[in-house]
Structure 1
Amino acid sequence: MAFEIQDFGGKPAYLFALLHPERVLGVVTLGVPFIPPGPGPSQYQKYLPEGFYISRWKKPGRVEADFGPLDAKTVVRNIYILFSRSEIPIAAENQEIMDLADLSTPLPPWLTEEDLATYGALYEKSGFQSSM
């Protein structure tokens, strides 16, 4: 079994690989560093910068502040653009993650305008509080 994981799925994928190495060929994650599990509460937050999206969006009201002024299609577009870069987007204290998106950046070649419209419509319907 091999995993390719992005986002919040990285931590359970790493843990599964550590607990069941005989069942895993490899784990590839995007945007989520490996942090070895330890005793007590999750140590994840102490290794992540304050402006990193996982740290930022866990706080009540932060996602709404970041996504609120934008329509769902724009949020999805910005996320794909931001997380397709080689560097991880880190917002300054007075910024939102969406402020980091350069609106003149073309879509990645693997994401069409039709794909973007479909994802935007799904999130418009479901919102960003849970999975589509």
Structure 2
Amino acid sequence: MGSAGGEVRHWNADVNGISLHVAEQGPVDGPAVILLHGFPELWLSWRHQMAALAGRGFRAIAPADAAAYTVLHLVGDVVALLNHLRLPKVLVVGHDLGAQVAWHMCLFRPDMVRAVVAIGVPFFPRGPKPMTEALAGRDGFYIMQFQEPGRAERTFARYDVATVLKKFYSIEIDDLTAPPGVEIIDFLEARPSPLPWMTEEELGQYAEKFQKSGFTGPINYYRMFDTSWRLTAPWQDAKITVPAKFIYGNKDIGLKSFGTEQFVKSGALKSFVPNLEVVIIEGHHCLQQEQAERVNSEILSYFDKFTGENT
């Protein structure tokens, strides 16, 4: 993994009152790229991108800890990390929940972002009501099941950690809603064979980490959706001015929910992110792993436009 850009380096940064584990690859004086992972993932989900970026002279930096708390906490942690590294302006890549953090980084601190690539999750403008109110009556929907403290953790514990992860990584259905009285983790099915884009050894690495950390950290992000909604009131109807590229898979479950695909294709997303390119490629949700070469090509070709600037 990553011989072209050297080995992956691991270190801890004491920032913002927490110890943030960081994985890094590539020359320390190269243009910096921050990679923000989603749920339920780790820095390892960026292994292909880190090697490709490092091989092209970029400094790929992936905070490795599971996400927790509100979107303001998460963006605050990224800002603190960049200040710790004395990086005033960076390129940002985010996937899934990490894409939401990346979008909000652009919203809160556009001065620190040269350009952003978001994968799988578009920028959602702040709605008229908090998430749980908007989803009232949909108890089977995974976000609603994640709200009750301890509920998801108890149901996840029915399975070994690798199976829990595989269930999420295998999703090919159109709606993450379990039938009445059924828990989402029981409803999801794990592929019987190894995933085509992840070795059993790599799955074991993910499982080992989540075995130690548990799932509460990342699930707490979902539990903070309503709080994040209240805290982001100052940015109501604000536009993202940072240059942006949005990549999504044509079979991504996330695009089938809440009219998201229509929101993207109709141009409504572009009204909130004026400086936007949209790319649709073959694949499901975990695109940066499933279609690594294509995603690497899209990221590198986009960032090439910005690397002439001062870093």
Letter in 2 for 1:81: S
Q: 8 Å contact 1:56–1:62 — kept in the other structure? A: yes
Task: Tell me the number of residue pairs that the alignment of Structure 1 and Structure 2 aligns.
Answer: 125
SS of 2:193's partner is coil
For 1:113, the equivalent position in structure 2 comes to 200
Q: 8 Å contact 1:75–1:98 — kept in the other structure? A: yes
Deviation at 1:58, TM superposition (A): 2.1
124 and 43 in structure 1: CA distance in 2 versus 1, 3 angstrom threshold: same
4 and 113 in structure 1: CA distance in 2 versus 1, 3 angstrom threshold: same
* Superimposed CA distance per residue, residues 60-96 of structure 1 (whole angstroms, 9 cap, x where no aligned partner): 23212320211111111112112xx363422233111
Deviation at 1:24, TM superposition (A): 4.9
Tell me, yes or no, if structure 1 residue 59 matches structure 2 residue 173: no
For 1:122, the equivalent position in structure 2 comes to 209
Letter in 1 for 2:214: G
Deviation at 1:16, TM superposition (A): 2.1
Higher strand share: 2
**Equivalences for residues 68-83 of structure 1 within 5 A:** 68-82=157-171
Q: 8 Å contact 1:14–1:27 — kept in the other structure? A: no
Deviation at 1:98, TM superposition (A): 1.4
Q: 8 Å contact 1:3–1:26 — kept in the other structure? A: yes
Letter in 1 for 2:153: E
**Equivalences for residues 44-55 of structure 1 within 5 A:** 44-48=131-135, 49-55=138-144
For 2:297, the equivalent position in structure 1 comes to none
- Identity, % of aligned pairs? 31
Q: 8 Å contact 1:81–1:107 — kept in the other structure? A: no
Tell me, yes or no, if structure 1 residue 87 matches structure 2 residue 171: no
Aligned alpha-carbon RMSD (Å): 3.0
Letter in 2 for 1:57: F
Letter in 1 for 2:142: Y
CA distance in 1, matches of 2:117, 2:131: 18
* Superimposed CA distance per residue, residues 21-73 of structure 1 (whole angstroms, 9 cap, x where no aligned partner): 8835344243x56431368xx72334455433233212123212320211111
Q: Structure 1 regions of 5+ residues with no counterpart?
A: none
CA distance in 2, matches of 1:26, 1:87: 27
Q: 8 Å contact 2:94–2:118 — kept in the other structure? A: yes
TM-score normalised to structure 1 length: 0.70
1:97 aligned to which of 184, 194, 199: 184
Task: Please identify runs of 4+ aligned residues in structure 1 that moved more than 6 A.
Answer: none
TM-score normalised to structure 2 length: 0.34
For 1:28, the equivalent position in structure 2 comes to 118
Query: Which protein is bigger by CA-based radius of gyration?
Result: 2
Q: Structure 2 regions of 5+ residues with no counterpart?
A: 1-90, 219-311
Letter in 2 for 1:64: E
CA distance in 2, matches of 1:43, 1:14: 18
Q: Which moved more, 1:51-60 or 1:10-19?
A: 10-19
For 2:96, the equivalent position in structure 1 comes to 6
80 and 103 in structure 1: CA distance in 2 versus 1, 3 angstrom threshold: closer
Deviation at 1:13, TM superposition (A): 2.4
